[in-house]
Structure formats: C-alpha cells, structure tokens
C-alpha cells in the first residue's frame, strides 16, 4: 500500500514507483499477464493511494536499480485497489527541483511526503528519543510545566493570551520554563528535564522560530562541571542516534579567551585563531599606518584562499563591520611592499601560532586613533571595551571570510564536530543607551562567590557562573548555576536597577519561595531544533520542524494568525485599534488573474508597484513606530516599548534592503534611501550605532564595480522590471491598474485585496532580488523575509497612480514621507 510516486506507461507495461514511509518499490502491470489489472492501472496518476497484491520477482539483471534498496526486485501485480485518488498537485514529492518555500509551507502535507523531509522528521524523533532515554537513565524526571503562565525575562517579547474570566488580564506563553524548573528544585525533584516548547516574539531572524523546542534541565547541588557531564552524555547519545561518534569531555574556554582568540563568544574551532602581531611593527611604522599603538593588531588567517584579484581584494572591505573605531587592512601585500621587515615578522609570528601557509589570506584588524577611550564603566576588565571592539570586529570578519572562501579552504566538512564550553561570562553588560547595567544571561544567574563583594561597588568585574555549549560556531545552549538565596537575588535585582517594589511585583512569589529552604541548583537549556538542523545538514530550522512559521511568524498552511469574530473579542473585553486585515492572504495572491497585461506594460507597472510598495513601507514604518510609542501606558511596559522601537531600528535598515530589492534598477535611488535611513536612524536612535554606522559600507558599495555594472546593465536596455513583471504574472499576481478604477472612485478606500497583492508582490520581489544585489549584501541577509505590517492605504492617495505620468521617483516618496512625518511624529502630536 502507498502512494503512486511516479508512473511510466510503456504501452504494454506500466511501471509504478510505490512509495510509503520506508521508501520505494517498483510495481509492474503487464498487459500480457493480466489485461484487466493493466487497464485499471491506466487510470493511476501521481499521488493516488493504492493497494496492490502480487508476486515479488527478482528483476532482470539489466533492469536492476542499484540506487534504491529495493532495486533488485519488483512486484508483479495481480490485483489493484485504488484506495483514493488525488487532484493534480501543486508540486510533487518526487520532484527533483524544490518548489518555492511559500508553496512548500502552504502545502506542507505534500512537502512532508518528500524523502528528505521524512528523513529529517525521523531523525528528529530518534534524536529526541535518545535524549529522553539518556536523561532518564541519568536519573532525570521529565516534568511538564504550564504554557499559560506569567512572563519570565529571557530578553524577548511575550506572546500573550487574554483571560476571559478575568477581563483585562493576560497570561504569557513561557519564553522558557526557567522559573518553574527552579521551583521544581525547591519542590524536591532534584533532577528535572523537559523537551519543551518555548515562545518568544522576536522579529525577522532567519534562524529563529517564534515557537521552538528546548531540551531544558535543572539539577540540585551541581558544580558547573556536573551539568556539563550530563549534557555531554546526552549529546553523545543524540549524535550516536544520528550515526555520529563525538569525543568528550568538550574543550573549555573562558569568555575572555574566546574574545581574544576568536573575537566571538561562540568560536568556530574549525578555523584558525587570531594572532596579535602588534609587536611585529616598530612604533613609527604603526604611526605611519595610522594604527593605535595601545591596542591589539589582529592578524586573521583564512587558509588556502590563494592569490586574490584586485576586485576580490576590494570585495573584502564591505564584509568588515567596524565597531568602536576598528579599521581593516585587507591588502596585506601593500604592507609587505612598504614595510617588508615588519611584514616578514608578522608572517613568522602567525606561522608559529597557527601554521600559516603561503596561500593563506592574511588580513589585519587594528584600532584607530578614534578608538573608544577606556574611561568606560567596563574599562578595568581584562579585555577592555576598546580591545573588545577590535576583537569583535575581527571576529565577525573572520567568520565572513571563512564563509566566503569555504570552497577554497574546505574546512566546513560534514561530520566534523568541534564542541566547546565557553565559561565565566561577565555577569553584566553595560547598556550604552540606557547608561545602566543589564543581566548578560538572565537575572537568576549566580555570580562567582569571590566576586560577590563587587556586586554594588564594581559590577563590571563580576563574573557569572554561566556557560554556553557551542558547536562549530553555533550556540547550542546556555545555562548557569542559579542564585538560591533570597538576599542575593534581591541584590541582583537591585544591581539591575529594579526597585524593591518592582522586584516584589514581578517576582514576589519567587523571592518568597527562595526563603523556604532552597537547595543550590543549576541547569541549562539546549535548542533541539538547532541540533537536529546541524545533524540533518540542513540550512534552515524550517527543514527540521514539521509545521514551522515564516519569518513573518505566519503558518501558511493553517493561515494563522487570523482575525477573530467581534463576539469573541467582546467576551475577552478586547478592542482592536486600527487596521485589522493583518497581513496578506497568500491563497488569494495565487489565484490567476483574467486580464494579463502585455510585457511593456508590465515593465512600467512594475516600477510603479515597487515605488508604491516602498513608500508604503515608509508609511507603515511611521505607523508602527507611532503605535509602539503610543503604547507607553505603564512603567512595566516601558522596556517592551523601547525594545519595539529598537526593533524598528532594524526595520529601518531592512527597509533599505527592500529598496535594494525593488529599486535595484535605479541604484542611485537605492543609495539615497539608505542614506536617508542612516541619517534618520542616527537622529532617532542615536544609541543604536550598530544599525546606523553604515556610511562607510555605503561609500564602499557606491564605489564598487557592481553598482556601476548594474546601472550599465540597465542602461543597455535590459528590462529588469519587465523580467520581474513577467515572473509575477506567471505566478498569477495582479497589477496595480487592476485596482485603479476603485482607487479613482474612492481615494480613501483601503481595498483589502490590494493590500494583499502589494504585500505579496513585495515579498516576491524581495526574494528575487538576491540574483541582482551587490555581492557584499548578498551573503548577509536572509533569503526570505517578510513584514508583519499592514499598508496604510489612505496615504497612497497622495502618490501618483496615473500611468501616463511616467515612472514616479523615489524622491516623491521621500517628500511625501517628510510631509506626513512632522504632524504624525509623537513629539509634534503630543502623544509622547
Ligand atoms: N532558561 C535559559 C534559556 O532559555 C536557559 C537556562 O539558563 O537554563 O536560555
């Protein structure tokens, strides 16, 4: 029994590949042997469900298929039953070319029938089972904890569930079971674990899912090493279940050491460490090169890159993200020509440290005269903030280079697993924007005993009993020894700027519990999805989660989230403010449109479409910004609100990426947009430098050949918008002119279908753009991103929608944007 995977009709003989969970078997319908069955088989189509009875026969030598386990036999059918038929499918489980991801997610049940998905889901099952068995054998109990609970601070936004019986009150879905597992220690279950769903409302990260699965555990009385043993044991079992042997104990490294050697707290040990080559240069040489003498000079070695062309060397610069004034010398040859002696010493030192070969790429990252001065609150740390900035800039570049040249160094081989424990993190991180200390892990993490006395006097120097387990540059999980004394917990809340009253109102129950004989305890949580993803060799979490969500947190199959009936809202005492159409409805955008425009027309329309969609995003941005600002109703919400605005900072840069997508054939407009966003960002979010310190990248891109190449391509008359339009049309998308009559008749209407089409179009272009954008941006951004915002159409009325008006320019939007912003801006409208 099974599905018709494929059917080949050779006239007298029909072959069917019959598929079930275990694989494929060839079944044969032979006219000469059984004409009636053969006739019935003629009706078979892809994905029909059938039962076939017959004789298993060894295949003739020349028809043996060595590629499948059942390739030596076939079933000669004597009786056929068609258990169910199937409509023609949007794509086939047997297709060798993958359908686009939107389709795969919408028809997930078909997608899951594919071999690769069956394999991944089975792997997930085996891995989870192995972990359960292993933890049970180590004496851990699996104990469930509630999903409807109250907020636990893990640094993200909560998903809320309204209470009907207590209108106006909300449960939060747990970001992790952190407090429950600590309470379980207080309750005497001294070894707890749970393979558990966690919920975090975070935006636009390709490797995040709003709900994900943790292997969560906690135990009483452990030293960190005891927790590590437990983890190493269950990871060994998990990897074994997937056919891999791993070595324990894992390597261990201090956070400071990780930063110094790798510039990141999750080092990929498959790649060589840094070498500090400051002492290879004479002081006046450093001066001549404009290098800050008091800071490290980091040599990054990327193996086996070989000779680079001029253009390739130029392409390195945009990979560099400068923090705290760090600079890059991507062309070591130039240093070699100018300072041969120093360069020779550098090569020697790197060779001694990390075995440099002649064809390795050397790049230097250094501090500049403008680097951070160390009167910073963390200035006394072993690794000072100024050094940290250089290490961190070099760390990111090291990874980017390794990714770019992975074909050459071939160090990213499947099955090469380098585990690592990173330990002794700083307890607090200084938030530059808020000028205060924040918990680096979560606020229940215990400081080192010997650092306790510095909690109030010198928080910068307090180390946490926290640890991360890292695999090949990916953080698999993190944990800590917890605070088990009420007085210490109160001191930590205090150090984090919480008043006694606030601490009591948020965590009163927990502070009280700590007072009734709490044993010392500690634990950890690891991401199951990530582990399975790595074991499956997949490049997205969505490949190992049966029913995942998109980057816009949508379930395309169930079409969730959805609006709900007014009655239901009334019962909950909830009123929805503003636009309620949510996102778009994919099923609608996929319907074929009857009136198909001609290709030239398509070209022109595309420009208008994208112009408007970009403008719409500017407006949507303002709208979201205002909504989040306007939510400032309660002090408790303040932090969430700030986080929203912060995320909007990201959104702003993302909007620019979108401009890259929709305007790549008008590059100067793209760059104008980026510049505008950088300037606006600096003004509005001056504390989040990372998002806006991009002028240099922009300048680099402006000078790069790719930019001019694309312009030239367009000027040669290549109709890129036409190409996009055609593909949009093939997909069955609608064009703006379709809606013009409605728009003209009623300027202020917000036709829902048009919103949907716009959003669909926008995502579509955003996914297409990868083929055209300049190289430095290409590798950086997720392949599929989409936006959970609705488009405020009343504003669109202000933009030209007439075809005869030619192609509207970005300028128009920016003007419109400026025109609208002042009186909508919170400062001006007095809502702030
Ligand atoms: N609850 C923490 C997290 O989700 C893990 C832990 O500290 O055990 O990251």
Pocket test for ligand 1, best of 149, 152, 153, 178 (most atoms within 8 A of CB): 178
3-class secondary-structure state, position 629: helix
Which has more pLDDT, 756 or 606?
756
Above 70 in pLDDT, residue 747?
no
Average pLDDT in the chain: 77
Gap from CA of 339 to ligand 1 centroid (Å) = 50
The reported pLDDT for the residue numbered 628 is: 32
Residue 482 CA, closest ligand 1 atom number: 7
Q: Which of 151-165, 534-548, 633-647, 649-663 comes out lowest in average pLDDT? A: 633-647
Gap from CA of 178 to ligand 1 centroid (Å) = 6
Contact indicator for 226, 237 with CB cutoff of 8 Å = no
Closest CA to 529 of 517, 518, 543: 543
Which has more pLDDT, 178 or 91?
178
Whether the CB of 176 sits within 6 Å of ligand 1 = yes
Gap from CA of 379 to ligand 1 centroid (Å) = 29
Q: How many helices (H) and strands (E) does the chain have?
A: 32, 21
Gap from CA of 538 to ligand 1 centroid (Å) = 25
Above 90 in pLDDT, residue 413?
no
Above 90 in pLDDT, residue 542?
yes
DSSP 445-458: BPBPGGGTTHHHH-
Whether the CB of 478 sits within 6 Å of ligand 1 = yes
Whether the CB of 257 sits within 6 Å of ligand 1 = no
Whether the CB of 182 sits within 6 Å of ligand 1 = no
Gap from CA of 446 to ligand 1 centroid (Å) = 13
Contacts of 148 (CB under 8 A, 6+ apart): 161, 171, 173
Whether the CB of 523 sits within 6 Å of ligand 1 = yes
Whether the CB of 525 sits within 6 Å of ligand 1 = yes
Band (205; pLDDT cuts 50, 70, 90): low
Alpha carbons within 13 angstroms on the beta-carbon side of residue 662 total: 28
Which has more pLDDT, 101 or 398?
398
Band (91; pLDDT cuts 50, 70, 90): confident
The reported pLDDT for the residue numbered 536 is: 95
Above 80 in pLDDT, residue 590?
no
Above 80 in pLDDT, residue 538?
yes
The reported pLDDT for the residue numbered 549 is: 92
Which residue puts its alpha carbon closest to atom 7 of ligand 1? Answer: 479
Whether the CB of 527 sits within 6 Å of ligand 1 = no
Distance CA 674, CA 810 (A): 12
Gap from CA of 633 to ligand 1 centroid (Å) = 30
Gap from CA of 780 to ligand 1 centroid (Å) = 28
Gap from CA of 525 to ligand 1 centroid (Å) = 5
Once rounded to an integer, what is the mean pLDDT over residues 329-337? 89
Whether the CB of 445 sits within 6 Å of ligand 1 = no
Distance CA 501, CA 635 (A): 12
Q: Please return the burial class of 412, using the count of CB atoms within 10 Å of its CB with bins 0-12, 13-18 and 19+.
A: middle
Whether the CB of 479 sits within 6 Å of ligand 1 = yes
Which residue puts its alpha carbon closest to atom 3 of ligand 1? Answer: 525
Gap from CA of 224 to ligand 1 centroid (Å) = 14
Q: Which of 55-69, 260-274, 470-484 comes out lowest in average pLDDT? A: 55-69
Contact indicator for 305, 408 with CB cutoff of 8 Å = yes
Band (716; pLDDT cuts 50, 70, 90): low
Above 70 in pLDDT, residue 609?
no
Say if residue 249 is preceded by a cis peptide, omega within 30 of 0.
yes
Pocket test for ligand 1, best of 174, 216, 222 (most atoms within 8 A of CB): 216
3-class secondary-structure state, position 57: strand
Whether the CB of 475 sits within 6 Å of ligand 1 = no
The reported pLDDT for the residue numbered 89 is: 86
Residue 444 CA, closest ligand 1 atom number: 7
Which residue puts its alpha carbon closest to atom 8 of ligand 1? Answer: 524
Band (634; pLDDT cuts 50, 70, 90): very low
Band (672; pLDDT cuts 50, 70, 90): low
Pocket test for ligand 1, best of 523, 526, 530 (most atoms within 8 A of CB): 523
The reported pLDDT for the residue numbered 755 is: 55
Q: Are strands 474-481 and 466-471 parallel, antiparallel or unpaired?
A: antiparallel
Percentage with pLDDT > 90 across the chain = 48
Ordered strands of the 191-199 beta sheet: 141-142, 191-199, 211-220, 521-527, 474-481, 466-471, 419-423, 251-254
Residue 152 CA, closest ligand 1 atom number: 1
Gap from CA of 398 to ligand 1 centroid (Å) = 28
Which residue puts its alpha carbon closest to atom 1 of ligand 1? Answer: 178
Band (322; pLDDT cuts 50, 70, 90): confident
Band (45; pLDDT cuts 50, 70, 90): very high
Band (612; pLDDT cuts 50, 70, 90): very low
Residue 217 CA, closest ligand 1 atom number: 8
Which has more pLDDT, 183 or 682?
183
- Per residue in 799-822, pLDDT (tens digit) is 332 222 222 222 222 222 222 222
The reported pLDDT for the residue numbered 367 is: 92
Which has more pLDDT, 712 or 628?
712
Gap from CA of 151 to ligand 1 centroid (Å) = 14
């Amino acid at each position: 029994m099974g599905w018709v995977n494929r059917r080949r009709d050779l006239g007298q003989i029909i072959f069917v590949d019959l598929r079930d969970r275990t694989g494929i078997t060839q079944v044969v319908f032979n006219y000469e042997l059984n004409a009636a069955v053969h006739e019935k088989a003629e009706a078979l189509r892809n994905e029909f469900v059938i039962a076939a009875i017959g004789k298993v026969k060894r295949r003739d030598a020349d028809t043996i298929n060595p590629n499948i386990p059942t390739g030596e036999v076939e079933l000669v059918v004597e009786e056929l039953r068609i258990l169910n038929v199937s409509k023609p499918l949007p794509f086939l489980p047997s297709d060798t070319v993958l359908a686009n991801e939107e389709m795969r997610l919408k028809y997930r049940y078909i997608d899951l029938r594919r071999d690769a998905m069956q394999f991944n889901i089975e792997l997930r099952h085996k891995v989870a089972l192995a972990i359960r068995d292993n933890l049970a054998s180590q004496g851990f109990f699996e104990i469930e904890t509630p999903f409807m609970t109250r907020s636990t601070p893990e640094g993200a936004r909560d998903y809320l569930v309204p209470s009907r019986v207590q209108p106006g009150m909300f449960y939060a879905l747990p970001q992790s079971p952190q407090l429950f597992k600590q309470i379980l220690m207080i309750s005497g279950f001294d070894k707890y674990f749970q393979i558990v769903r966690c919920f975090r409302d975070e935006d636009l990260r390709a490797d995040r899912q709003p709900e994900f699965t943790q292997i969560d555990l906690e135990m009483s009385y452990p030293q960190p090493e005891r927790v590590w043993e437990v983890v190493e044991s269950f990871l060994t079992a998990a990897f074994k279940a997937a056919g891999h042997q791993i070595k324990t104990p894992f390597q261990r490294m201090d956070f400071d050491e990780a930063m110094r050697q790798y510039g990141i707290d999750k080092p990929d040990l498959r790649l060589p460490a840094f070498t500090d080559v400051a002492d290879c240069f004479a002081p006046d040489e450093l001066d001549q090169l404009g290098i800050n003498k008091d800071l490290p000079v980091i040599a990054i070695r990327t193996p086996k890159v070989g000779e680079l062309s001029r253009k390739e060397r130029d392409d390195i610069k945009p990979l560099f993200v400068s923090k705290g004034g760090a600079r890059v010398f991507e062309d070591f040859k130039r240093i070699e020509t100018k300072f041969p002696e120093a360069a020779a010493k550098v090569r020697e030192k790197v060779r001694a440290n990390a075995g440099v070969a002649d064809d390795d790429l050397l790049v230097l990252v250094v501090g500049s005269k403008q680097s951070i001065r160390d009167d910073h609150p963390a200035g006394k740390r072993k690794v000072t903030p100024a050094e940290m900035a250089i290490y961190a800039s070099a760390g990111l570049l090291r990874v980017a280079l390794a990714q770019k040249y992975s074909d050459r160094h071939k160090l990213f081989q499947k099955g090469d697993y380098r585990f690592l424990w990173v330990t002794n993190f700083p307890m607090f991180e200084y938030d530059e924007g808020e000028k205060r200390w924040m918990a680096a892990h979560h606020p229940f993490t215990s400081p080192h005993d010997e650092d306790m006395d510095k909690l109030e006097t010198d928080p910068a120097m307090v180390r946490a009993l926290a640890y991360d387990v890292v695999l090949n540059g990916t953080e698999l999980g993190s944990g800590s020894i917890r605070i088990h004394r009420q007085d210490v917990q109160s001191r930590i809340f205090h150090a984090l700027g919480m008043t006694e009253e606030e601490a009591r109102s948020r965590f009163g129950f927990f502070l009280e519990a700590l007072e009734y004989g709490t044993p010392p305890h500690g634990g950890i949580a690891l991401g199951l999805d990530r582990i399975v993803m790595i074991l499956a060799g997949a490049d997205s979490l969505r490949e190992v989660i049966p029913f995942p969500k998109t980057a816009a947190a949508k379930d395309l199959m169930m079409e969730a989230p959805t609006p709900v009936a007014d009655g239901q809202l009334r019962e909950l005492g909830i009123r929805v403010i503003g636009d309620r159409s949510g996102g778009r409805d994919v099923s609608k955008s996929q319907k074929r449109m009857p009136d198909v425009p001609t290709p030239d027309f398509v070209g022109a329309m595309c420009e208008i479409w994208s112009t408007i969609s970009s403008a719409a995003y500017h407006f949507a941005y303002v709208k979201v910004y205002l909504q989040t600002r306007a939510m400032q109703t309660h002090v408790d919400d303040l932090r969430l609100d700030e986080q929203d605005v912060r995320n909007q900072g990201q959104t702003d840069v993302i909007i620019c990426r979108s401009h890259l997508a929709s305007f790549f054939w008008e590059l100067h407009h793209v760059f104008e947009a980026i510049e505008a966003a950088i300037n606006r960002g600096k003004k509005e979010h001056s504390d989040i430098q990372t998002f806006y310190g991009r002028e240099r990248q922009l300048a680099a891109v402006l000078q790069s050949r790719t930019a001019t190449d694309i312009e030239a391509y367009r000027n040669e008359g290549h109709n890129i918008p036409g190409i996009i339009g055609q593909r949009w049309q093939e997909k069955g998308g609608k064009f703006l002119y379709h809606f013009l009559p409605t728009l003209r008749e009623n300027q202020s209407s917000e036709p829902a279908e048009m919103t949907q089409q716009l959003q669909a179009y926008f995502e579509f272009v955003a996914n297409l753009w990868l083929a055209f954008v300049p190289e430095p941006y290409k590798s950086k951004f997720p392949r599929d991103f989409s936006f959970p915002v609705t488009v405020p159409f009343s504003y669109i009325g202000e933009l030209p929608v007439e075809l005869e008006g030619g192609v509207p320019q970005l300028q128009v939007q920016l003007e419109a944007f400026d025109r609208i912003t002042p009186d909508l801006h919170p400062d001006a409208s007095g809502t702030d």
